[in-house]
Structure 1
Amino acid sequence: MSASAKTWLERIRALPLDKADGRPIKIMNVCGGHERSITMAGLRKALPDTIELVPGPGCPVCICPEEDIFEAIQLALHEEIILVAFGDMLRVPVNVAKAEARTLEQAKAQGADIRPIASPTEAISIARDNPGTQVVFFAAGFETTTAPVAAMLAEGVPDNLSILLSGRLTWPAVAMLLDSGTPGFDALIAPGHVSTVMGPEEWEFVVKDHKIPAAVAGFTPESLLAAMYSTLRQLIEGRCFLDNCYPQLVRAGGNKSAQAHLATTMQVVDANWRGIGIIPASGYQLAEAYRSHDARERFPTYADDARKRAGEMPPGCDCAQVVLGKLYPNQCRLFGTACKPRNPIGPCMVSDEGACRIWWSAGIREPAAQEEREETLA
C-alpha cells in the first residue's frame, strides 16, 4: 500500500488483461467520493483501454425518493417550522408544475424557513436557539451520514426537533444488480467510509455469493489503484476474495459504537430508490421508541403516493441508468444540453457525489454520440 500511484499503474499495465470475448474489464466503484477522486485524478485516461471504470449507486442525493423531497418541500411551505437539510438536498428538483416550488431552494425563496447544514450538531443548535419553533431535520444519506443522526438521537435531542428520515443502506443496491443476472461489472471497488462504519464484512457477499472480486478502497489515487490491481489480479488468477486497500481506517467489524446507535434508534425496512424502485431491506426508519421525534408522526402527512412509482425522474433524464452503472454520465440524453450544473434537471447533476456533476466539473461537457449510448445499453 505504500507504493506510489505511478508504481500501481505500472503494475496494472504489466498484467495480461485481454478478455476472451474482447470486451473491456469493467470495474464498478460504488462510492461517489471514489468517482470524484477517479475523475479528478484522470485515472480513466491513465489506465489501459482494456479497463473500464463504471460509476455506481453511491450518491445518496441522486437516489433520495422524489416523494421524500416533495414531502420536505410541502412541510416547509405549509407548517410553521424551520426545516434543515444537508446542503446538496436544497437543489434537487421534483416533478411539479412550473408555478410550484421544484426544490427546497425555491421553497425558501417563496418564504419557507429552510437552512442548509453540514452536520447533525447544527440541527441541535438551531433547535436549542429556537425553543418556541418546531425544527425538522430532513436527513437523507447513506450509512456514513445516517450513523451520526442515530448517535444524535441516542444521546438525546431537544423536544422541538424531529427527523424526516430518508436514510439508505449501500450494499442492497449492489446486491440487486448482482441478483439481476446482468450486473454490468466484473469487479467491485467497495466504499471506504461505509466500510469504516459498517465493517468490510458487509461486502463479503459479492465474493462468496457471486464469485466477483472486490476490494475496499480509500480516496487517494494510490489506494484506488491498489484496489483495482487487487481485483484484476483476482480475475486473472481465478480466485476471489475481499481485499482491504484502506487499512488506515477500515478495520474488521467496523465501528461498533456507530452500529449500536443505528440498531437502537432505527429499523431496516424496504425502501424506494428514486428512478429504481423498491429495494428490500435498503432503508432506515426510526425505531418505535424514537417515533415521538419522527416528523411523519408529528405533522400532517404531505406524502403523495402517486410519486412512489419507479422511474420518477424528469422526462428524458437517465440519472437512474447512470446510478445503476448502465450508462455513463455523458450518455444521458440531457447531459450538457438541457441539464447543466446551473440548471440541473436530474439529481445526478446536483450533488458533488453525483456522477454527472463530477464529470462536468472535470471538463467533460459534450454529450456522447447516440451510437455510443446504444452500444453501451446493448
Structure 2
Amino acid sequence: MPLNAKTWLKEINSLTLPDKVKIMNVCGGHERSITQAGLRSVLPKSVHLIPGPGCPVCVCPEEDIYEAIQLALKESVTLVAFGDMLRVPVNLPRHEIRSLEQARSASADIRPIASPTEAVLIAKNNKEKPVVFFAAGFETTILPVASMLAEGVPDNLFVLMSGRLTWPAVAMLLESGEPGFDALVAPGHVSTVMGPEEWTFVAEKHHIPTAVAGFSSTSLLAAFYSTLRQLIEKKYFLDNCYPEVVHKGGNPTGKQYLENVLKVVDANWRGVGIIPNSGFALKEKYASHDARVRFPSYADNSRQRIGEMPAGCDCAKVVLGKIYPNECKLFGKTCTPREPIGPCMVSDEGACRIWWANRQRH
C-alpha cells in the first residue's frame, strides 16, 4: 500500500540528519507545490529547500525578448507568445519599450496564446499576414512546438525559437565546484518526456543524492526522504518517486519529434551566461519556418549582458539557488507581480512570484 504524505513526513522526522542539508528542486512547478502546501514549515529545521533554475521565463535571454519586441514593432507581423512572456522586462530605460506587453500597447499586433494549436489557428485565419510564434520554454513546452512543425503548419507561420534544456544548467552548477546544494529533486514533467536517465549523472558522476518527483506533497516528500536517506547512508543513486507517470526511456515518440525538428546548440541563459548544449534551434530542413531566416535580424549583441540584471535585481542568484527570493533587496518593495523589475517576479513558475503570491516572506 503506497504511503501518504503524513507517513512520509513521519519517516523524514525519524532520520538522524546533519545540522544542515540543502535540497534543490529544479522545477518551478515543484517550487509552487512546495510553497502552496507549506512544506518548508513542516520539515525538520535542518532541511533547506532551495529553488533552482526551473523557470523558462526567468532564464529566457534578454536579447531574445528584445529581438521579439523589435520584430513585432518594425515588421508587419502578428507575434504570438505564451502569456507570461509578454510581461518580462528587458534592461532598458523606463521611457523605452521594455516588454512585449508595452509593445502591444504601442500598437504592435501581439497576442498571448496557451498552446501551439492556437498559433496554427491564428495563422490559418490570417493567411495574408505572417504570424511569428515566439517559443520560449523547456523540453515539455518545446515538444508541442516540434510536433506542430513536424505535422505541418501554414506557410505564413514562423517560429522564433528560444527553447532550453534543463539538465545542462544543473551540470553547470555541479561542475562549478560550488553547486550550493547537497541533494537534487529532478523535474517530473521533463523526465516524463526525456526519461529519468537524463539525471543519473548527478548521482553517478557527482555523488549527489537524486530523486525524480511529481507535484503532489506525497511525491515530493517521498523524494525528500529518498535523498536524505541516500545522504545519510552515502549510497547515491537516481530514485524515481513519480513512477505512475515517469518511465524508463521517457516518451519515445516525443523524443523523436524533438530530434527530427530541432538541434541542440550552445545557448545563453539570462543572468547565467552561455551554457554548452543547452538550447534548441530549428534544423535546416525547417528553415522555411524559421523567423530568424525569414525576417531581417533584430538581434542586438549588446543585449547579451551576461550576469547582469536591472540595478539591484538578484534574479540571477535566485535562479542559481544562491539566495532565497526574499533575500533580494527589491523583493516585495519595488519589485512586485504588478510591477516586476526582474523576470523571477513575472511567471507563476518564478520563485519570487511564487513566494509573493503565497505570502512566503521568510
Alpha-carbon distance between aligned partners in 2 of 1:157 and 1:27, rounded to the nearest angstrom: 42
Checking the alignment, whether the CA contact within 8 Å between 2:21 and 2:46 is kept in structure 1 is: yes
- After superposing on structure 2, the runs of 4+ consecutive aligned residues of structure 1 that deviate more than 3 Å are none
Checking the alignment, whether the CA contact within 8 Å between 2:35 and 2:360 is kept in structure 1 is: no
Alpha-carbon distance between aligned partners in 2 of 1:37 and 1:68, rounded to the nearest angstrom: 29
Task: Tell me which residue corresponds to 2:32.
Answer: 36
- Structure 2 gap ranges (5+): none
Letter in 2 for 1:9: L
Letter in 1 for 2:215: F
Alpha-carbon distance between aligned partners in 1 of 2:322 and 2:79, rounded to the nearest angstrom: 35
Aligned residues: 362
| 1:275-354 aligned within 5 A | 275-354=271-350
Task: Tell me which residue corresponds to 1:75.
Answer: 71
Deviation at 1:333, TM superposition (A): 1.7
Deviation at 1:309, TM superposition (A): 2.6
Letter in 1 for 2:175: D
Task: Tell me which residue corresponds to 2:168.
Answer: 172
Task: Tell me which residue corresponds to 2:357.
Answer: 361
Task: Tell me which residue corresponds to 2:89.
Answer: 93
| 1:8-157 aligned within 5 A | 8-17=8-17, 19=18, 22=19, 24-157=20-153
What SS does the aligned partner of 1:140 have?
Answer: strand
Deviation at 1:291, TM superposition (A): 1.1
Checking the alignment, whether the CA contact within 8 Å between 1:66 and 1:312 is kept in structure 2 is: no
Cα deviations by residue, 1:203-243 (Å, 9 ceiling, x for unpaired): 00001100111000000000000000001111111101100
What SS does the aligned partner of 1:138 have?
Answer: strand
Deviation at 1:53, TM superposition (A): 0.2
What SS does the aligned partner of 1:270 have?
Answer: strand
What SS does the aligned partner of 1:269 have?
Answer: strand
Checking the alignment, whether the CA contact within 8 Å between 2:133 and 2:158 is kept in structure 1 is: yes
Task: Tell me which residue corresponds to 2:3.
Answer: 3
Checking the alignment, whether the CA contact within 8 Å between 1:83 and 1:137 is kept in structure 2 is: yes
CA RMSD after TM alignment: 0.9
Task: Tell me which residue corresponds to 1:237.
Answer: 233
Normalising by the residue count of structure 1, what TM-score does the alignment of the two structures yield? Answer: 0.95
Normalising by the residue count of structure 2, what TM-score does the alignment of the two structures yield? Answer: 0.99
- Structure 1 gap ranges (5+): 369-378
Deviation at 1:312, TM superposition (A): 3.2
Checking the alignment, whether the CA contact within 8 Å between 2:80 and 2:110 is kept in structure 1 is: yes
Cα deviations by residue, 1:98-157 (Å, 9 ceiling, x for unpaired): 222111011000101100000000000000000000000000000000111000111111
Q: Does 1:204 align with 2:212?
A: no
Alpha-carbon distance between aligned partners in 1 of 2:329 and 2:165, rounded to the nearest angstrom: 29
Cα deviations by residue, 1:237-293 (Å, 9 ceiling, x for unpaired): 110110000011100000011110111111000000001000000000000101111
Deviation at 1:356, TM superposition (A): 0.2
Between the aligned residues of both structures, percent identity stands at: 70
